[in-house]
């Protein structure tokens, strides 16, 4: 029987990050993955989506310049070649992770593994023993939905691999995945309708931000049916689908479409953990319960990533895995923090947030100041011709500490990380003013002006708007 210091089950972001972190402690590690190294994120999630999104954004820019007659006869594209490049990006990254694991001395087994005891796993006919187990089996798209008993809808994995651009698509669910797919395929020329049960999109953001975001998507031709309940999906002639739903006024509506994307949530991949047999604690939704050290109720079994039910994001998964491994092999105990999780939507325009929203601050009875600055007032935004959007900063009124921010607009998903550093170090508006010099011209100046606006000190905000 082969013996390891750590066996990792799952080769996605949490799994491979955990294995690589353990290798830094000189440990003997095995990683089991039943499909492909890289998991959902690298193979059928974050990376291929962003590869498509980059081309969608390029097309939007080309169309804008064509309308202004800067470019002529531009904007035709080959979806087949876009898909080919997407696959090349995915393959390059997965090969890179394979190489890192090999260089770190991790034994990688492309097999399905099952936990049979707190110190043993079984893969095929082989049994492997270990001091610790890290469960990083991730999550899957919700399937077998009541309104789609004939399985006529696509999930995001299937949609990423279609070989043609549909002329019409209905997306069920206005979450991050649904909105990103809507933006991408809208840029490719697909007519998009989003059907969402809730009365507004993205409830974790402030409503003034999401309303501005929705307006921009609507300007591009994306239609929203909010407060609507899907009843059924049927197949009709010529490979068309008919989706029937009840709208916000209680009226039954139907849309004929080429493709239906169902993007309403994910479920944990907990089957092979043998939770009941091992007495491994799971919650009512099937996610593994862990403490803030990523430890389950069985002391030598840890879990990280989507399987724990924390925000289902690759960067959360990586961080959780690192915390778990540090707590296995380091004398200094580490704790998971969910206070500073960046949330990013890679659409056109992009949207991002970190820290507290105004809504969350109010729920905590925290008195706040708000600072806002629009892209259109920024020199670099004007030079890039990306003037849509704004930054909104949340500041504690009591001590003027910067506690949160939301950014709608070009490169918002990159700019938001500046706020992560600011908030993590509990920086105040005055400290920012005294210590930070922002390069000019940059989009970062938008953040600077928004921060200063929270204290009525933005020199590029008209005085008449401060009173």
Residues with catalytic roles: 440
DSSP string of 48-91? Answer: HHHHHHHHHHHHHHHHHHHHTTSSSS-----HHHHHHHHHHHHH
Alpha helices in 303-388 (DSSP H): 314-329, 358-363, 379-384
Q: Which helix (H) or strand (E) holds 18?
A: helix 13-23
Task: Work out whether strand 168-172 and strand 252-257 pair parallel, antiparallel, or are unpaired.
Answer: unpaired
* Cβ neighbours of residue 118 closer than 8 Å, sequence gap 6 or more: 133, 278, 298, 300, 301
Question: Cβ-count burial of 147 within 10 angstroms (0-12 exposed, 13-18 middle, 19+ buried)?
Answer: middle
End-to-end CA distance of the chain: 75
CA distances from 168 to 10, 82, 115 (A): 36, 19, 45
Q: How far apart are CA 247 and CA 254, in angstroms?
A: 10
Q: For residue 86, list its beta bridge partners.
A: none
- How many Cβ atoms are within 10 Å of 149's Cβ, its own excluded? 10
CA distances from 217 to 69, 271, 344, 429 (A): 24, 39, 16, 33
CA distances from 47 to 83, 89, 146 (A): 12, 8, 30
DSSP code of residue 118: T
Read off the tokens for 279: 């007495």
Task: Work out whether strand 368-374 and strand 390-396 pair parallel, antiparallel, or are unpaired.
Answer: antiparallel
Q: How far apart are CA 177 and CA 113, in angstroms?
A: 29
In the three-class reduction of DSSP (H, G, I as helix; E, B as strand; rest coil), residue 29 is classed as strand
């Amino acid at each position: 029987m082969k013996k390891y210091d750590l066996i990792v089950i799952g080769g996605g972001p949490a799994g491979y990050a955990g294995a690589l972190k353990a290798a830094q402690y000189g440990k003997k590690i095995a990683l089991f993955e039943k499909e492909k190294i890289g998991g959902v994120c690298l193979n059928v999630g974050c990376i291929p989506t962003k590869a498509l999104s980059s081309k969608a954004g390029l097309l939007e820019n080309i169309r804008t310049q064509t309308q202004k007659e800067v470019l002529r006869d531009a904007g035709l594209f080959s979806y087949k070649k876009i898909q080919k490049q997407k696959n090349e990006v995915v393959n390059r990254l997965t090969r890179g992770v394979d190489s890192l694991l090999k260089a770190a001395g991790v034994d990688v087994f492309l097999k399905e593994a099952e936990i049979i005891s707190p110190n043993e796993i079984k893969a095929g006919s082989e049994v492997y023993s270990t001091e610790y187990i890290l469960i990083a089996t991730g999550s899957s798209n919700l399937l077998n939905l009541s309104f789609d008993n004939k399985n006529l809808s696509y999930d995001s994995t299937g949609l990423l691999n279609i070989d043609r651009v549909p002329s019409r698509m209905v997306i069920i669910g206005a979450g991050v995945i649904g909105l990103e797919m809507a933006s991408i395929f809208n840029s490719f020329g697909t007519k998009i309708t989003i059907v969402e049960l809730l009365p507004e999109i993205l409830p974790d953001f402030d409503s003034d931000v999401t309303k501005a975001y929705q307006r921009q998507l609507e300007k591009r031709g994306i239609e929203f049916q909010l407060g609507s309940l899907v009843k059924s999906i049927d197949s009709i002639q010529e490979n068309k689908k008919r989706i029937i739903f009840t709208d916000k006024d209680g009226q039954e509506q139907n849309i004929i479409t080429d493709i239906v994307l169902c993007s309403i949530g994910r479920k944990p991949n907990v089957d092979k953990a043998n939770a009941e047999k091992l007495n491994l604690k799971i919650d009512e939704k099937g996610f593994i319960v862990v403490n803030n050290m990523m430890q389950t109720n069985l002391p030598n079994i840890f879990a990280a990533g989507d399987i724990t039910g924390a925000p289902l994001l690759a960067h959360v998964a990586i961080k959780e895995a690192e915390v778990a491994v540090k707590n296995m092999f380091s004398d200094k105990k580490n704790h998971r923090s969910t206070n500073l999780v960046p949330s990013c939507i890679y659409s056109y325009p992009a949207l991002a947030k970190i820290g507290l929203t105004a809504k969350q601050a109010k729920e905590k009875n925290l008195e706040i100041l708000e600072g806002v600055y629009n892209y259109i007032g920024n020199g670099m935004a004007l030079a890039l011709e990306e003037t849509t959007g704004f930054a909104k900063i949340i500041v504690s009124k009591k001590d003027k500490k910067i506690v949160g921010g939301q950014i709608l607009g070009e490169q918002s998903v990159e700019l938001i990380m500046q706020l992560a550093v600011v908030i993590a170090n509990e920086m105040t508006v005055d400290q920012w003013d005294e210590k930070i010099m922002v390069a000019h011209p940059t989009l970062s100046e938008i953040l600077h002006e928004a921060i200063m606006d929270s204290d009525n000190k933005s020199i590029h905000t008209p005085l008449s708007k401060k009173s």
